[in-house]
Amino acid sequence: MSTFPSRPVEVPVETSRGNAVLGKSVIVKGQIFSREDLTIDGEVEGNVELQEHRLTVGPNGKVMASIKAREIVIIGTVHGNVEASDKIDIRKDAKLVGDIRTARIVIEDGAYFKGNIDIVKTPAANANANAKPQQPQVVAAKPPATAPTSSMAAGAAESSR
């Protein structure tokens, strides 16, 4: 197990096809800046910044940090605010406690999330929206169910003070 002091650290620990990986037995306390895609399957406490790249928090990953990246995929656990210029993808069984700021978000059923969601309309996202007006800004993880709709509302009663 490797432990780093509270100062910027050089990533990668392992590299595979341009994707740096922090393995599940690695603990980092401090700041991480990366110029390539990064997968965290260990523990990180501090800040993580990958401005133009993708961060994946793997199934064993525990991140107590604010995160900035182009794209963020969460399969493990994150406590902290996350900001993605393109997309945040929160998978089933993931846990995220913190505020989200992104252009697009995908969240699977079974994921746990607690916090604010702020969708930022970036020029790129707006351009995509203009090119494909039928496509929503927020990508649907699953299409809406098409179970029979029951008709319920029969009337209303109001009381005011």
Partner 1 sequence: MQTRNSSGLLQFCSHLEDRPGLNILDFAGANQSTITFLTNNYHRLYSQDLLLQLDESFGDGDFYLNQSDPHRMADFLEKSFSFPDKQFDAALVWDTLQFLSSPLLETVMQRLWRVMRPGSCLLAVFHAEEHANNLPCYSYRIVDQKTIGLLPKGMRKPARTFNNRGLEKLFQDFESVKFFLTRDHLREVIVRR
Alpha-carbon separation of residue 29 from 8, 24, 25, 66, 104 (angstroms): 9, 14, 13, 12, 29
- Binding segment toward partner 1, per CB under 8 A, in 31-39, 41-49, 69-77, 102-110: 102-110
- Could you give the CA distance from residue 37 to residue 20 in angstroms, rounded to a whole number? 6
Under the criterion CB under 8 A, does residue 115 sit at the interface with partner 1?
yes
Under the criterion CB under 8 A, does residue 134 sit at the interface with partner 1?
no
Cβ-proximal residues to 156 (8 Å cutoff; 6+ apart), any chain: none
Under the criterion CB under 8 A, does residue 153 sit at the interface with partner 1?
yes
CA angle in degrees (0–180, nearest 5) for 7-39-123: 90
Under the criterion CB under 8 A, does residue 92 sit at the interface with partner 1?
no
Under the criterion CB under 8 A, does residue 132 sit at the interface with partner 1?
no
Paired with 37 in beta bridges are 19
- Binding segment toward partner 1, per CB under 8 A, in 20-28, 46-54, 75-83, 107-115: 107-115
Contact with partner 1 (CB under 8 A) among 10, 14, 52, 118: 118
CA angle in degrees (0–180, nearest 5) for 23-82-90: 70
Contact with partner 1 (CB under 8 A) among 112, 124, 125, 134: 112
Q: How far is the CB of 86 from partner 1 (least distance, A)?
A: 15
Burial (CB count <10 Å: 0-12, 13-18, 19+), residue 106 = middle
Nearer to partner 1 by Cβ, of 50 and 107: the residue is 107
| Residues of this chain that bind partner 1 (CB under 8 A) | 90, 105-109, 111-119, 136-142, 144-145, 147-161
